[in-house]
Amino acid sequence: MFENRMPRYEPLTGDDLEALDRGWERLVSEVGVRIDHPEARRLFAAAGQHVEDDVVRLDPSFLRAQLALAPREFALRARNPERSLRIGGDTMVFCAAQGPPFVRAGAERREGTFEDFRRFAMLVQASDALDTPGRNAVEPNDLPLDIRHLMRTQAMIRLTDRVWSGEPSSTAAAEDCLRMAEIVFGGREAIEREPVVFANCNVNSPLTFDERMLEGILAYAAAGQAVIITPFLLMGAMAPVSVPAALVQQTAEVLAGVALAQLVRPGAPCVMGSFLSSTDMKTGSPAFGGPESAFGLYASGQIARRLGIPWRSGGGTLTASPAVDFQAGYEAFNTLSAAFLAGANVCWQSAGWLEGGLVTSFEKFAADVELVDLLQRQFTPIRIDADTIAFDAHAEVGHAGHFFGAAHTLERFRDCFWRPTVATTDNHDRWTRAGRPDHAARATARVDELLAAYERPSLDDAVEDELLEFVERRARELGDPVERALLG
């Protein structure tokens, strides 16, 4: 968990923010939001909102009142207390890529497997720059769909000691994930008292919450767990082609989701999600890392602080590139640095994202972890005092000397500068003798180093047995029994 104490970059004026407010207020009250779940519609109707068929038109003052119930900051407890998280304020937490169906290792691009999923969980555990494995760093396509949530969750619990994400896409899956959290943390009362998991619930933009995501919101909010409400806005596809219009839509959709969570359980922790990017208007393909995405992040940070809610940035290290190349690097940097400048609290998709989110890449995972680490160091204020000004070093070296052997250098050379784990400072001769490895090749070597350094965190034997018995029983009930050997 990183504390970002640098000044925020805020490009919007007061007049801009007021115009955006008028925009979302009109959108929710005149167009409304489609809610594809009868219980959710019932809750809105009981709260005095106008429900017609499956569309809910919302009073802006109601949304503001509901938003005020959500905490500005909250904690998420990990089974290792040193890995617990604080969401909101100046803190930033970083999560690996989430959701790609394909994996890339070197030149090979193929469907993801459960073993790939396990390896990414291990990489997260071995990477100090990341805070959570999230829910699905890559889809384990070799597992039956109806038990993937069970297998993923037990793997994250056993292979990491960090906060993880629950499955939000159905009531049954959400309840299974909550039950597993109860096993680890000592029961329902314990996790309701101290939230331990979060769920990222995507809006089916524009202006629609589908039944499956609503089931997730209802279940996790009822249990007092954190809910991230994330509009998925590719401008030109799921939002208009202007950044201001997309920001209005994003705010309207987020506020509707937060309001619902507060109707279920006042005080339920919520996060404003932002996934705002552009579309290539020649091909219709998603485009990432461009100036519109960065500006959207700067503005989203301002809006979230104005609303008084923690927020998730739309990246991360996003890229449309199909390879771990210069394009992947600059698009990832532009998206991630914007999240830092905008003061994001949760950075999803922070390691491994490739090919517009279709692929999780092992090489890019290592390269992105280094990028996260670099920016964490860059956004850490320096200490300025007599010691760091180092007058004694000048007095010792004098004129036209060098500082390699100075006492000040010898005392600090091991950790005075940030050191990359993938990038190289080798000159041409050393680089040639090493086989001329490019950045992707060096990143592959770094993946191997992290996996070799991985140590599985301890888990109480009784808890582990109960967890595995639950997974085995639920898998049988769902019609896809699994052998314990596959659980790892």
- pLDDT the model gives residue 286: 87
Cβ atoms 163, 78 nearer than 8 A: yes
Q: What is the pTM of this model?
A: 0.96
Complete domains list, the chain, with CATH: 2-9+67-378 (3.20.20.480)
Q: Among the residues of 291-438, which ranges form H helices?
A: 291-307, 326-342, 362-378, 386-389, 391-397, 407-410, 428-433
Cβ atoms 381, 462 nearer than 8 A: no
Instruction: Give the integer Cα–Cα distance in Å for 309 and 301.
Output: 10
Cβ atoms 296, 274 nearer than 8 A: yes
* Beta pairing class for 164-165 and 55-57: unpaired
Backbone angles phi, psi at 33, to 5 degrees: -125, 135
Phi-psi sector, 142: left (phi>0), alpha (psi -120 to 50), beta: alpha
Instruction: Give the integer Cα–Cα distance in Å for 96 and 116.
Output: 13
Q: Which amino acid is at 47?
A: A
In 3D, which of 317, 298, 301 has the Cα closest to residue 309? 301
Query: 230 has which bridge partners?
Result: 202
Cβ atoms 209, 257 nearer than 8 A: yes
Each residue's pLDDT expressed in tens, for the chain with a length of 488 residues: 999 999 999 999 999 999 999 999 999 999 999 999 999 999 999 999 999 999 999 999 999 999 999 999 999 999 999 999 999 999 999 999 999 999 999 999 999 999 999 999 999 999 999 999 999 999 999 999 999 999 999 999 999 999 999 999 999 999 999 999 999 999 999 999 999 999 999 999 999 999 999 999 999 999 999 999 999 999 999 999 999 999 999 999 999 999 999 999 999 999 999 998 899 999 988 899 899 999 999 999 999 999 999 999 987 999 999 999 999 999 999 999 999 999 999 999 999 999 999 999 999 999 999 999 999 999 999 999 999 999 999 999 999 999 999 999 999 999 999 999 999 999 999 999 999 999 999 999 999 999 999 999 999 999 999 999 999 999 999 999 987 767 76
Using alpha carbons, list the distances in angstroms from residue 52 to 42, 168, 259, 311.
11, 26, 18, 31
- pLDDT the model gives residue 483: 79
- pLDDT the model gives residue 419: 94
Cβ atoms 343, 301 nearer than 8 A: yes
Backbone angles phi, psi at 92, to 5 degrees: -130, 135
Q: How many CB atoms lie within 10 A of CB 100?
A: 23
- Taken as a whole, the chain contains a residue count of 488
- pLDDT the model gives residue 73: 98
Using alpha carbons, list the distances in angstroms from residue 302 to 10, 11, 16, 296, 343.
6, 8, 11, 10, 9
Can you tell me which residue has the tokens 């890995």?
A: 83
| Dihedral in degrees, nearest 10, Cα atoms 188, 191, 150, 40 | 80
Using alpha carbons, list the distances in angstroms from residue 357 to 268, 349, 350.
30, 9, 12
Can you tell me which residue has the tokens 């504390």?
A: 3
In 3D, which of 260, 255, 253 has the Cα closest to residue 275? 253
Query: 201 has which bridge partners?
Result: 229
Cβ atoms 167, 149 nearer than 8 A: yes
Q: Which two tokens stand for residue 245?
A: 């219009």
* Beta pairing class for 197-203 and 108-111: unpaired
Cβ atoms 331, 322 nearer than 8 A: no
31 DSSP 8-state letter? I
Using alpha carbons, list the distances in angstroms from residue 379 to 4, 7, 76, 202, 389.
6, 10, 24, 30, 20
Long-range contacts, 372-377 (Cβ 8 Å, 24+): 372/94, 372/129, 372/130, 372/317, 372/336, 372/347, 373/128, 373/129, 373/418, 373/421, 374/418, 374/420, 375/336, 375/337, 375/340, 376/2, 376/129, 377/418
Q: Which two tokens stand for residue 213?
A: 């995501």
What is the dihedral sign for C-alpha 24, 27, 28, 34?
A: negative
Q: Which two tokens stand for residue 111?
A: 């469907």
- pLDDT the model gives residue 434: 95
- pLDDT the model gives residue 315: 79
pLDDT in tens, 49-72: 999 999 999 999 999 999 999 999
